[in-house]
């Protein structure tokens, strides 16, 4: 009777250990899955941020081109006004003295 009892205890111990090992593996898998999910979410968030920044850069480049064009037009306009005005005309000081 004693030997049967001991052998049944010996048989239960590996099963109990196996369950504990399986629980530990499941817990480790759960932690790993949560970490992967967190990393995936972080990558997606960074991708969206990069897309937003890229769109902003494109908008700023477009605005910069518009402003450059407007500055050229204004520069030409000012140059035309200055050439039409007698105030900005170059004077020949030698001809005035004679």
pLDDT per residue over 8-57, tens digit each?
444 545 666 678 788 888 999 999 999 999 999 999 999 999 999 999 99
Q: What is the pLDDT of residue 14?
A: 60
Q: What is the pLDDT of residues 50-87, one digit of tens each?
A: 999 999 999 999 999 999 999 999 999 999 998 888 87
- pTM higher than 0.75 for the full model? no
d(CA 40, CA 20): 30
d(CA 44, CA 29): 22
d(CA 45, CA 6): 58
């Amino acid at each position: 009777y004693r030997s049967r009892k001991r052998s049944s205890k010996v048989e239960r111990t590996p099963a109990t250990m196996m369950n504990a090992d399986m629980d530990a593996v499941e817990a480790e898998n759960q932690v790993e899955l949560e970490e992967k999910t967190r990393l995936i979410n972080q990558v997606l968030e960074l991708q969206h941020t990069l897309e937003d920044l890229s769109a902003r850069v494109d908008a700023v480049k477009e605005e910069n081109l518009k402003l450059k064009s407007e500055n050229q037009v204004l520069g030409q306009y000012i140059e035309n006004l200055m050439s039409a005005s007698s105030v900005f005309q170059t004077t020949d000081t030698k001809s005035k003295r004679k």
